[in-house]
């Protein structure tokens, strides 16, 4: 065989292998580009590309006059030129993070300030029976939960604040027809005079009504002021006061002397209700057995007063029983004779038997006395330790706020504050009060004992003292005031667990020192003008989201936060078309040499 012909064929074979290799490489690159489209996206800014490289020159012809051996030199060390660099770079695209159909909502300030009396505005559409919500300027909301009803729903569905002030029933504003509460879904009426009929009537709703009078009452005119009607000398040495509240009627029987009666009978007029006794209370139930109202156990207190302890001599020997009278039912109230006839009694004595529409108490205190007695009550809130000539006393209070976990389900919690009105302290020297989470279920009543239901570690502590009146004075150097106790980070996290269902909401307990008498305090309870309230600052973010795609588009990154309202999004076709174009051109760039390569090799042969 001619050596030159062999060399030519050898060279042609080498060229064919090189082109096939380049074709395979180009095809692999094209497949890689296509696969890249299925993985993470490529940057839209293509201004930075690889530096142009220099490939080996390709010569065509035969091997005549060519040396048999190719001497290696330094070789080509330049990096290959990117195929993408052969085309004009595409201008940088706008940041795709913000789309026309995706709304990015700015999250609230991480250091949320919450409620500000000067700038926060109530959102009436978010009212409820026991709650009201304020929109804050920092983007958060603050919802205040009260243990007593604060709003009622009108027939048109809107919510309005309850107003317990008394207004005259008569169109001419005369008291001839009595008085009723100004605004509430529960209509409460009080009589213009005692005797001859009911003293008060509660219309719980259209189907349920409760009214009661007083046997032997003198026909005396009532005197109305604010939310209270007083009937003076309605019985011998006896006055009666009826105070309208958002939960019913608070009745106070004032015994002016030991000559006052020790028993009273209150005839009942019921519509859609049945009266029964349970655990010393009078229960009013509908035909299905649902409790609609109750008369909780009462107490009586004389006029003695300890300026430090803030209490008068008190007796809980007040009992009820149901009796039949004139074909109907009446409640008979009996008071302890021995206690009332004690020479140590200081008159007047006030007896407190309220009518309450709540199914159960929402607050209570537990108390242990040095004489061994241990009990609970729902008519007051006490904390700390006190002592007098009769011994020492230690108490703690419990508060329930059911419904928080439902109203704020899955909301983001930023903080919580417990508001308590401190109307009595041992002195004006500030002492700490601590708030703890309750860790077991409980019901307010008279069957609990100190130290009360179990509780966890302290959430927060505040120092204050209000309401102390020195002996011989009529005003306090540290008047009654409401303290908004921040529950801190621990309280915030506790409420967060409540609303996400990670921990049951068993309420809070308020406690003070068990040894320092200066820590003794009393607070207004549920059923008063200033019941305990829990204010929670929150946002509804993460509460309810709907995504067209389960993966947010664009994705949320460490540098891009905020809530999203996901809408339908179309893919960016310009990026997809560009990648396919580059892949196709890469293959054609090599394949265009194959016809020329074949012709050259045939002529060489």
Residue 116 clears pLDDT 60, i.e. is over it: yes
Q: Model confidence over 276-329: pLDDT tens digits?
A: 999 889 999 999 999 999 998 889 999 998 777 777 888 989 999 999 998 899
Residue 39 clears pLDDT 50, i.e. is over it: no
* Lowest-confidence region among 407-416, 577-586, 595-604: 595-604
pLDDT of amino acid 196: 83
| CA-closest candidate to residue 142, choices 122, 163, 169, 119 | 122
Residue 81 clears pLDDT 60, i.e. is over it: no
pLDDT of amino acid 418: 97
pLDDT of amino acid 279: 85
Q: Rounded CA gap, 205 and 360, in Å?
A: 19
474 — pLDDT class (breaks 50, 70, 90): confident
Question: Are 219 and 196 a contacting pair, CB within 8 Å?
Answer: yes
**Residue 529 corresponds to which tokens in the numbers above?**
């003008």
93 — pLDDT class (breaks 50, 70, 90): low
Question: Are 368 and 384 a contacting pair, CB within 8 Å?
Answer: no
349 three-state secondary structure:
strand
Q: Model confidence over 56-73: pLDDT tens digits?
A: 444 445 555 555 555 544
pLDDT of amino acid 526: 81
Q: What is the mean pLDDT of residues 19-45?
A: 49
Residue 22 clears pLDDT 50, i.e. is over it: yes
Q: Model confidence over 371-418: pLDDT tens digits?
A: 888 888 877 899 999 988 678 899 999 999 999 999 999 999 999 999
pLDDT of amino acid 43: 39
Q: Rounded CA gap, 385 and 370, in Å?
A: 11
Q: pTM of the full predicted structure? A: 0.69
Residue 246 clears pLDDT 50, i.e. is over it: yes
Residue 34 clears pLDDT 60, i.e. is over it: no
DSSP bridge pairs for 395? 367, 384
Q: What is the mean pLDDT of residues 341-367?
A: 88
Q: What is the mean pLDDT of residues 567-587?
A: 46
Q: Can you spell out the DSSP letters for 396-415?
A: EEEE--TTHHHHTTTPEEEE
47 — pLDDT class (breaks 50, 70, 90): very low
Q: Which residue has the higher pLDDT, 563 or 424?
A: 424
Phi, psi of 147 (to 5 degrees): -80, -10
The count of other CB atoms within 10 Å of the CB of residue 216 is 12
pLDDT of amino acid 23: 56
Residue percentage of the chain with pLDDT more than 70: 70
Structural element, H or E, at residue 202: strand 200-205
Between the alpha carbon of residue 145 and those of residues 250, 397, 504, the distances in Å are 22, 18, 17
* Lowest-confidence region among 32-46, 410-424, 459-473: 32-46
Q: What is the mean pLDDT of residues 240-253?
A: 94
* Lowest-confidence region among 251-265, 282-296, 416-430, 562-576: 562-576
């Amino acid at each position: 065989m001619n050596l030159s012909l062999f060399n030519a064929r050898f060279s042609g074979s080498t060229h064919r292998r090189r082109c096939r290799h380049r074709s395979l490489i180009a095809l692999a690159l094209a497949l890689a580009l296509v696969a890249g489209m299925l993985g993470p996206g490529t940057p839209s800014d293509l201004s930075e590309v690889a530096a142009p490289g220099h490939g080996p020159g390709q010569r065509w012809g035969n091997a005549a006059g060519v040396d048999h051996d190719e001497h290696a030199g330094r070789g080509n060390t330049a990096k290959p030129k990117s195929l993408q660099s052969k085309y004009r770079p595409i201008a940088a695209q706008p940041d795709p993070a913000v789309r026309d159909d995706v709304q990015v909502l700015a999250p609230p300030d991480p250091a949320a300030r919450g409620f500000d009396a000067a700038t926060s505005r109530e959102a009436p559409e978010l009212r409820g029976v026991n709650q009201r919500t304020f929109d804050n300027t920092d983007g958060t909301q603050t919802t205040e939960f009260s243990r007593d009803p604060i709003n009622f729903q009108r027939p048109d569905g809107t919510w309005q604040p309850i107003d317990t002030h008394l207004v005259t029933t008569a169109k001419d504003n005369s008291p001839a027809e009595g008085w009723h509460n100004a605004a509430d879904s529960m209509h409460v009426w009080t009589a213009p005079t005692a005797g001859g009929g009911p003293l008060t009537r509660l219309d719980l709703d259209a189907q349920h009504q409760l009214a009661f009078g007083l046997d032997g009452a003198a026909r005396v005119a009532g005197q109305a002021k604010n939310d209270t009607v007083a009937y003076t000398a309605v019985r011998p040495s006896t006055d009666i006061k009826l105070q309208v509240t958002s939960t019913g009627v608070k009745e106070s029987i004032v015994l002016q002397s030991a000559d006052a009666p020790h028993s009273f009978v209150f005839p009942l007029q019921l519509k859609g209700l049945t009266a029964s006794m349970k655990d010393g209370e009078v229960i009013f139930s509908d035909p299905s057995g649902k409790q609609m109202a109750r008369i909780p156990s009462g107490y009586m207190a004389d006029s003695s007063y300890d300026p430090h302890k803030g209490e008068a001599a008190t007796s809980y020997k007040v009992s009820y029983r149901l009796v039949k009278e004139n074909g109907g039912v009446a409640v008979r109230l009996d008071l302890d004779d021995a206690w009332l006839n004690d020479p140590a009694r200081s008159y007047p004595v006030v007896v407190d038997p309220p009518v309450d529409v709540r199914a159960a108490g929402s607050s209570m205190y537990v108390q242990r006395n040095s004489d061994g007695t241990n009990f609970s009550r729902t008519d007051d809130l006490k904390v700390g330790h006190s002592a007098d000539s009769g011994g020492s006393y230690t108490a703690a209070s419990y508060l329930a706020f059911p419904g928080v976990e439902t109203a704020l389900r899955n909301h983001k919690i930023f903080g919580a504050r417990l508001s308590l009105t401190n109307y009595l302290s041992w002195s004006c020297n500030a002492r700490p009060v601590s708030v703890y989470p309750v860790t077991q279920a409980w019901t307010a009543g008279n069957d609990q004992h100190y130290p009360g239901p179990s509780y966890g570690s302290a959430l927060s502590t505040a120092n204050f003292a209000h309401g102390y009146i020195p002996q011989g004075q009529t005003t306090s150097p540290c008047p009654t005031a409401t303290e908004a106790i921040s529950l801190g980070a621990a309280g915030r996290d506790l409420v967060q667990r409540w609303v996400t269902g990670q921990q049951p909401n068993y309420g809070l307990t308020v406690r003070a020192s068990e040894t320092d008498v200066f820590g003794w305090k009393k607070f207004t309870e549920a059923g008063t003008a200033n019941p305990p309230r829990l204010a929670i600052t929150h946002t509804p973010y993460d509460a309810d989201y709907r995504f067209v795609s389960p993966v947010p588009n664009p994705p949320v990154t460490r540098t891009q936060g905020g809530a999203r309202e996901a809408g339908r999004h179309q893919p960016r076709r310009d990026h997809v078309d560009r990648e396919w174009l580059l892949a196709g051109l890469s293959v054609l760039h090599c394949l265009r040499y194959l016809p020329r390569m074949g012709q050259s090799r045939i002529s060489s042969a």
